[in-house]
Structure 1
Amino acid sequence: MLARILRYTLQLLVKLNENMKNIAKKLVHFCTQKPKIVYAVLLLLAVVFTAQIPRIKIDTDPENMLSAEHPARVFHNEVKTRFAMHDSIVVGIVDTKTENGVFTPASLTDIYDITESILSIDGVVSADLMSISTVDNISQSESGTIRFEWMMDKPPSNLDESKKIRNYLERLPLLQDTLVSQNGKAAAIYVPIKDKNESYNIAEQIRANINKLEGSADWYITGLPVAEDQFGVEMFIQMGISAPLAGLTIFILLFFFFRNIPLIIAPMVVAMATVMITMGALIGMGYTVHIMSSMIAIFLMPIAVVDSVHILSEFSDRHKPGADLKETIEEVVGHLFTPMLYTSVTSSVGFYSLMLTPIPPVQIFGAFVGSGILLAFVITITFMPSYLSRMNDASLDKLQLVMHSSEGGSRIAKVAKFLGGFALRFKASLVIGFAIVFAISVWGITQIQINDNPVRWFKQDHEIRVADKVLNENFAGTYDAYVVLSSSNTLMSLKDLLATDKPASLSDWAAEQLTQLSGQPMSEQYQQLLLNIDDKLFSEVSDAEADYLNATLVNAESALSQSKAFQSPELLTYVESLQDYLKASGLVGKSNSLADVVKVVNRELRSGEEKDYALPNSPQAVAQTLLQYQSSHRPNDLWHFVTPDYQSTLIWLQMTSGDNQDMSQVIALVDEFMTQQPLPQNVQLDWAGKAYLNVVWQDNMVAGMLDSLVGAFVIVFIMMVLLFRSLVFGVLAMLPLTITITFIYGLIGIIGKDYDMPIAVLSALTLGLSVDFAIHFLERAREVYKQTNDIKQTFTVMFDEPATAITRNALVIALGFTPLLFAPLVPYITVGIFLASIMAISALVTLLILPAVMTMGKRIVFK
């Protein structure tokens, strides 16, 4: 039954292929007869879609690597709202030239002036800005009382005043290693912003103000929001540089191959039209250009010319002076149609497989590159025949002269023939050598480390990267993650509370309370009810009513006290223990929490000495410290650590590294702590913060890429078997692909290169393009063998024009990506290096391993 289904499927595909070839034959004939119509249609499409490009929107926010509905992203945004958190730019000043560091009148005056200038910038959340001049000094006024005064309400006039400020800061653990370094050589300003998409503009205004200073200290600006936004600005510039450079590189290569400018204009038109239409479609459909989709142009430029180079190579080989030009064109395209179609489809399948990943920008990238490859195929088989059919005799004669002389294209032919001779002479050694390389590569894959960090998208000497390094050396860390603890102890409804033993005479009063207080947060309902009960008790009430009201008052106060879970010394002690555990690990530079706020205030309320830097022993005492804290100049800072109902609290982790591996270790450390000290009853722990989100989308990406790679590999294998109608040839077609993917990713593991987003996406390109060369080689080899019926003669023919065309294409694609090597952004450099390597290796494997294996297994292959 299965054999019958497979046979029927093969017959159907053969018939479909023949029908498509017939349609293509008619289409090519039309194009050679009516070239101007093809020109007009292509020009119209290019103009219409290119007109969409000015509407481009750039997006480099890693949060968008997760869908808006992803639970981790939803919770992260909920936490930001719940605790009034904002993305922040970190501005740092470092002075290692003076003995007192930044604690000199000059440096502190600069800090004061820069802070004032930042407060006036639109888009800055002024109330939450943290600087030495905007925070409070907390000290004891007299026993049992506390004083809040500005740490630096004006710049100091002398060194003694500067030292006094340093002494104040040293007494406040909340600010040490956050606002000032322990060695006193550095200070920081945390600039919360309303919209992270404005971070680059705000950072530029801060830089402009810093440039007006005359001090000798060094200033730095970093933080994930400004790094991501600045990457977007530089990415946009890079798009405008790399794509034209890639086009120029391809043009120079084609000129070197064909020495005929009128001829090589055709593939350049194909490439440019493909890029403009694809990018125009992406932008016109409302998609933002992310780090991945910004590479669409540079990906498509070399890929789009591949089929054109095959056509030009065979056309230059077949066309002879005096022959009918249009017949030669139709013959060439007809001959190449099937391998070009299948290479285009397999390449697009490789990219379409990215749509299986749960990462929206990667899905968009895969969809549009896959569609762009198919578009390039359609443009190639329509525009190329139209263009070639209008070439004059002088250009054609010049082409013949170049291609059949001892110069120009034949240099590539000599290389191809050398590879053919080498492959057949040392076939056994090659097979053994590749088997050893394959085994080592498999081991290398097991060494791959998954890691990414947006700051590392810049080169090491970039100002963002330098600032990140310097500030993380001086402070507890500029990378944030949040541990969120939530209690499920909830207040009963007022209806239930008021219903207990209620006298009939208070029914109307109780109903009035329910109506009046409904719609407010539950804790606020209880607070207001307590006030209303007090008022009612002062009016004339009966004994029964007074008893009810007093009982309800006691019940409400008790319930409200119990619901404020994080006023409990026990829960705050658990938070404190977790902080100590993280600090001892060395993975977290510092953590700040509600427990730290309580301990500082408690110390100053008692003796002001270090022995009282501890948590109080009762909820009432905790509540008293927090009430005192709210009399400071920044009372709302409390709500960054706890919600007003005290049912959720946040631990702010500062880390010196934003690498996913380090964040994953911190997550594992917290899990380890909870194993040793289980969470208190009715308390749950969750994560938020940019560093945590990066881990989530990286994990999703790796799992998604693996699924897409495996799925696409199986699909491509089935396509190869169906294309060649042979299991043996299907396996042969997958050999270069398998060896190339294994070698590239094995090399990544061996050299210790992090498996990041650009590296992950390369699997699709490897999958799609590594099989292209094999398809052309195997299809032509089988056809030639049918004509010669001799293996030696077959490979003699194969290492003439077919191998030359494959070598040309490998060079075009590989060198077409080399402009990326000069980019200032690391992901582009990574893509450039590995794509060039992939193309070179896959072509080399095709031209060496396939003839070796086919010759050694000739009885099976050519039976």
Structure 2
Amino acid sequence: MNRIGAFYDRFILPHPWIVLVLFGAILALAALRFDQFRLDASAESLVLENDRSLEEYRQVNRTFTTSDDFLVVTYTPHEPLFTAEGLSRLKALRDELQALEAVSSTNSILNVPLLHSPDLTLDTVDTEIKTLDEHEVAPETARQALLDNPMYPNLLLSEDAGTTAIQVNLPTPERYFELLNRRDGLRDKVNSGNASADDQRQLEQVSQEFIRYTESLGKERDATIKKVRVILDNHREHASIHLGGVPMIVADMIRFIQNDLSTFGLGVLAFLLLTLAVIFRQWRWVLVPLLCCGFTVWLMIGFLGWAQWPVTVISSNFISLLLIMTLSLTIHLIVRYREFQHDEPDAAPRDVLRRTVMAMIKPCFYMAITTIVAFGSLTFSGIRPVIDFGWMMTLGLSVAFIITFLVFPALLSLLPPPLDSRVTSDRIPFTDAFARFTERFGGTVLVGSGVIAVLCVIGLNRLTVENSFIDYFKSSTEIHQGMITIDDRLGGTTPLDVVITDEPPPENYSDDPFASDCDPFVEDCDEEDYRDTWYTYQKMRQLGDVHDYLNSLPETGKVLSISTTLDLLAQINGGTPLNAVELAFVPAAVPDDLQDILLTPYISEEQSQARFSIRILETMPDLRRQDLLDRIHNHLTTDLGYAPERVQLSGMTVMYNNMLQSLFDSQIKTIGVVFAAIMVMFLILFRSLKLALIGMAPNLIAAGSVLGLMGWLGIPLDMMTITVAAITVGIAVDDTIHYIHRFKTELAKDGDYLATMHRCHRSIGQAMFFTSLTIISGFSILVLSNFIPTIYFGLFTGFAMFMALVGALTLLPRLIVLLKPFPAP
């Protein structure tokens, strides 16, 4: 401590202007990269670490020439759709959307083949196809043709023909995938340890180019979506219209993140400063914390810009957390300064400031270290954005501590506050009441804590991780409303692909079609069929069984596969299913302009794979994704006999489920690491096992109460609430450290545990109360977010702080008084 005191005496306190000027230069350097600060809500930002599902998903899209890069416009006219006027209005909307520069094409009931002509057969399909766009088709005839077609109902048209959809295709340029593949290839090479220095330089260059290209592409997408919304607004007079699709969800989530970063970051700051003004009623005690908090956030945003480190949905609250953690440090300094100032009113301001810094740097350092450990535990999670959040907060807390103990004393050296006569009158009866209650009802405190602990354990056992993506958004948002419409009327929202790979032929297999007594092109063979094509009777029958099973599941909406195409061709064939010979010639019979609609999305002869496109009903109350995926995989591998390695489940449903299922394991792992690390920290700090165990008790109650309450209320863990328990421990441990440190200091005066408890409640208890009050007040503004996980984050963090404060003012002092862990003075 003598060296620290000498450092302040020599460099900080005599030269505050130099400190602030040097610090200003650092702030200016950070500001140079503010424009590089970016947000990320892409699929990569929500997958597990080393999860291959994203690459598998992209590979399936490449193999079957499919993509989720499209917007979905749901259109429910106020008047009947299938009238000349109704179809004309739909066409006007479609034409305006299709005219946008970024839109490559649109799909709707206007341009899809109706296949209704009485002269239509497999032989004439190429010449008898009609569309509403190009032919004169009576509206009622078109309506019936669309409803009779197995592909369109619950996809482009609701079963009652009252709602239709326009698919607005926004293809991702090939340049994106070129850069992505180059980056991933170089990254794998570097991770394997086989990269040269040139490879590493190329990786850095390609990564930067990919980031720039992704940002420009994102801006173009945002601009296009805004134009789409303007067009839709002009047509809402005659119809109920909703916008959906992955690009729109990504754009809106980024907008929500921006709101949480800017609106709620400033809102939290305003709330905190208002609370400071009410509590301390002196402008210096508002300005100094404001500058410390602002500088911390400023430096972190600049650093993230320099490091090209994006903020994701999960880490979007890091600004609010940094504001609160920095404010917590400054409040403890303010309260201690005012105490010293009151105890020695004639002391020089610099002496009061020096005593404050020397008295608080040790407990605040311990507080910062243990909080860093708590947030650092998030890096043990298996979820990439959670890991990034842990590192961001670890670095941010280090910056907050350094700024607090450099800028705070420098500012107060230039702006020494006058003696505040209200310090004595500011004694809060709230903390005194807790001291009296703890003294008189110590047994009640222990029993009550035990009851809360039991309730927490029961609540923990009720925790789940199954939640619907739709539940992340308020019912007033377009994402929520669009998902409901698509789920209820257009066959489901979240995509799931089931891909089956054809079985390779045995070693002794001969491709001579006459080598076997059974020809699968013309017969229904009982033995295995190894023909180098999917279009055989036996294989199509097997795929039909898969399709029927998937379609029978209550969680699935629209299911499309080659079986859908065969049903359509059977309809064209006069209602007669195709025989073995006709099946063999399906690829040749389907016109070239229909191949991309009827064949290539479902069969890849080159990769020997068949694909089933499924839409999951996201709004289904009993949706259990993991159970659904397990049932599908088990049925295909057990009941239908496919080898496990031949069955692949892919798509957004799988990636999202992987993240969800990792949450519970990650939560246990994270909390376990937090408490183990903090226990070690307490042993180092307090050098007493008894005191370390006492200090852990209120933190266990605070963290357990949050998770237990979630379990009792039936609120599942999600990508945001997973972090609350670790954050709770990180913040709650601050109160524990400050209280124990002050208790040890005060006890040395007279050795009286009860008197010491009352003195601590009137001194450090006030700082704890002020800190908790400002944190709870600040986080309460997050309830205004449109992102439900952010709302839960604010509510549960506020609740956790309340429980931590109550525990630190009741259970902690009761255990200290009961067990007397400090050596006799």
TM-score, L = length of structure 2:
0.87
- Superposed CA deviations along residues 246-299 of structure 1, whole A, max 9, x for unmatched, are 111111111122111023311211111111101211121011221123211111
SS in structure 2 of the partner of residue 466 of structure 1? helix
Alpha-carbon contact 2:273-2:286 (below 8 Å) kept: yes
Moved more, 832-841 or 64-73: 64-73
SS in structure 2 of the partner of residue 136 of structure 1? coil
Q: Is 1:26 aligned with 2:6? A: yes
Matches within 5 A, 1:32-111: 32-66=13-47, 70-87=51-68, 88-95=70-77, 97-98=78-79, 101-111=80-90
1:541 — aligned with what?
A: none
1:352 — aligned with what?
A: 376
**Alpha-carbon distance, 1:860 to partner:** 8.3
For structure 2, which runs of at least 5 residues remain unmatched after alignment?
173-216, 523-528
- Partner amino acid for 1:50? A
**Alpha-carbon distance, 1:563 to partner:** 4.6
Moved more, 253-262 or 233-242: 233-242
Q: Is 1:282 aligned with 2:313? A: no
- C-alpha distance in 2, partners of 1:350/1:623? 63
Alpha-carbon contact 2:40-2:310 (below 8 Å) kept: yes
Alignment match of 2:423 (pick from 363, 379, 403) = 403
SS in structure 2 of the partner of residue 94 of structure 1? strand
Moved more, 184-193 or 114-123: 114-123
2:562 — aligned with what?
A: 594
**Alpha-carbon distance, 1:134 to partner:** 2.1
**Alpha-carbon distance, 1:832 to partner:** 1.4
1:816 — aligned with what?
A: 778
- Partner amino acid for 1:383? V
Moved more, 56-65 or 659-668: 659-668
SS in structure 2 of the partner of residue 137 of structure 1? coil
Alignment match of 2:617 (pick from 656, 668, 674) = 656
- C-alpha distance in 1, partners of 2:651/2:823? 57
- C-alpha distance in 2, partners of 1:848/1:290? 38
Alignment CA distance shift 1:214-1:853 (3 Å): closer
- Superposed CA deviations along residues 192-241 of structure 1, whole A, max 9, x for unmatched, are 32239455433332232233338622111112331122121232133221
**Alpha-carbon distance, 1:373 to partner:** 1.0
TM-score, L = length of structure 1:
0.83
2:144 — aligned with what?
A: 167
Alpha-carbon contact 2:636-2:647 (below 8 Å) kept: no
SS in structure 1 of the partner of residue 614 of structure 2? strand
Alpha-carbon contact 1:593-1:651 (below 8 Å) kept: yes
Alignment CA distance shift 1:343-1:650 (3 Å): same
**Alpha-carbon distance, 1:861 to partner:** 8.3
- C-alpha distance in 1, partners of 2:242/2:119? 37
Alignment CA distance shift 1:683-1:124 (3 Å): farther
2:193 — aligned with what?
A: none
- C-alpha distance in 2, partners of 1:339/1:142? 84
2:169 — aligned with what?
A: 192
Q: Is 1:425 aligned with 2:440? A: yes
- C-alpha distance in 1, partners of 2:482/2:130? 26
2:688 — aligned with what?
A: 726
SS in structure 1 of the partner of residue 364 of structure 2? helix
- C-alpha distance in 1, partners of 2:339/2:237? 71
1:747 — aligned with what?
A: 709
- C-alpha distance in 1, partners of 2:392/2:247? 28
Alpha-carbon contact 1:737-1:767 (below 8 Å) kept: yes
Q: Is 1:777 aligned with 2:729? A: no
Alpha-carbon contact 1:452-1:757 (below 8 Å) kept: no
Alignment match of 1:332 (pick from 356, 362, 367) = 356
Alpha-carbon contact 1:86-1:192 (below 8 Å) kept: no
- C-alpha distance in 2, partners of 1:632/1:365? 48
**Alpha-carbon distance, 1:760 to partner:** 0.4
Alpha-carbon contact 1:759-1:830 (below 8 Å) kept: yes
**Alpha-carbon distance, 1:834 to partner:** 1.3
- Superposed CA deviations along residues 416-461 of structure 1, whole A, max 9, x for unmatched, are 1111111111111121112111101111111112134444332111
Alpha-carbon contact 2:260-2:317 (below 8 Å) kept: no
- Superposed CA deviations along residues 536-584 of structure 1, whole A, max 9, x for unmatched, are xxxxxxxxxxxx9x99xxx9x99xx945342233232222222322333
Alpha-carbon contact 1:200-1:230 (below 8 Å) kept: no
Alpha-carbon contact 2:498-2:612 (below 8 Å) kept: yes
**Alpha-carbon distance, 1:38 to partner:** 1.4
Alignment CA distance shift 1:125-1:371 (3 Å): same
Alignment match of 2:97 (pick from 118, 122, 129) = 118
- C-alpha distance in 1, partners of 2:129/2:223? 30
- Superposed CA deviations along residues 604-644 of structure 1, whole A, max 9, x for unmatched, are 22xx23xx2x4x453x4313233222355454542111114
- C-alpha distance in 2, partners of 1:282/1:682? 43
- Partner amino acid for 1:668? D
Q: Is 1:381 aligned with 2:359? A: no
Moved more, 29-38 or 666-675: 666-675
- C-alpha distance in 2, partners of 1:366/1:102? 52
1:300 — aligned with what?
A: 322
Alignment CA distance shift 1:635-1:386 (3 Å): closer
SS in structure 1 of the partner of residue 646 of structure 2? strand
**Alpha-carbon distance, 1:807 to partner:** 0.7
Alignment CA distance shift 1:36-1:598 (3 Å): same
- C-alpha distance in 2, partners of 1:624/1:843? 75
**Alpha-carbon distance, 1:803 to partner:** 0.7
2:272 — aligned with what?
A: 250
- Partner amino acid for 1:40? V
**Alpha-carbon distance, 1:191 to partner:** 2.5
SS in structure 1 of the partner of residue 133 of structure 2? coil
- Partner amino acid for 1:581? Y
Moved more, 289-298 or 753-762: 289-298
**Alpha-carbon distance, 1:305 to partner:** 1.4
Alignment CA distance shift 1:278-1:681 (3 Å): closer
Moved more, 357-366 or 655-664: 655-664
1:832 — aligned with what?
A: 794
Alpha-carbon contact 1:571-1:680 (below 8 Å) kept: no
- Partner amino acid for 1:604? I
Alpha-carbon contact 1:567-1:646 (below 8 Å) kept: no
**Alpha-carbon distance, 1:163 to partner:** 0.8
SS in structure 2 of the partner of residue 640 of structure 1? coil
1:684 — aligned with what?
A: 646
- C-alpha distance in 1, partners of 2:685/2:387? 27
1:802 — aligned with what?
A: 764
1:147 — aligned with what?
A: 125
- C-alpha distance in 1, partners of 2:159/2:269? 53
Matches within 5 A, 1:425-824: 425-489=440-504, 562-605=530-573, 608-609=574-575, 612=576, 614=577, 616-618=578-580, 620-633=581-594, 635=596, 637-645=598-606, 647-657=608-618, 661-674=623-636, 676-680=638-642, 684-824=646-786
- Partner amino acid for 1:464? I
Alpha-carbon contact 2:155-2:165 (below 8 Å) kept: yes
**Alpha-carbon distance, 1:360 to partner:** 2.2
- C-alpha distance in 1, partners of 2:683/2:645? 57
Alignment match of 2:246 (pick from 220, 224, 227) = 224
**Alpha-carbon distance, 1:189 to partner:** 1.7
Alignment CA distance shift 1:327-1:402 (3 Å): same
Q: Which has the larger radius of gyration?
A: 1
**Alpha-carbon distance, 1:680 to partner:** 3.7
SS in structure 2 of the partner of residue 90 of structure 1? strand
SS in structure 2 of the partner of residue 589 of structure 1? strand
**Alpha-carbon distance, 1:125 to partner:** 4.0
- C-alpha distance in 2, partners of 1:706/1:808? 31
- Superposed CA deviations along residues 13-55 of structure 1, whole A, max 9, x for unmatched, are xxxxxxxx33422233231111112111222222221332222
Alignment CA distance shift 1:141-1:625 (3 Å): farther
- C-alpha distance in 2, partners of 1:214/1:223? 19
- Superposed CA deviations along residues 355-392 of structure 1, whole A, max 9, x for unmatched, are 12232222221111111111111111122222222334
2:333 — aligned with what?
A: 311
Aligned residues: 765
SS in structure 2 of the partner of residue 566 of structure 1? coil
**Alpha-carbon distance, 1:142 to partner:** 5.9
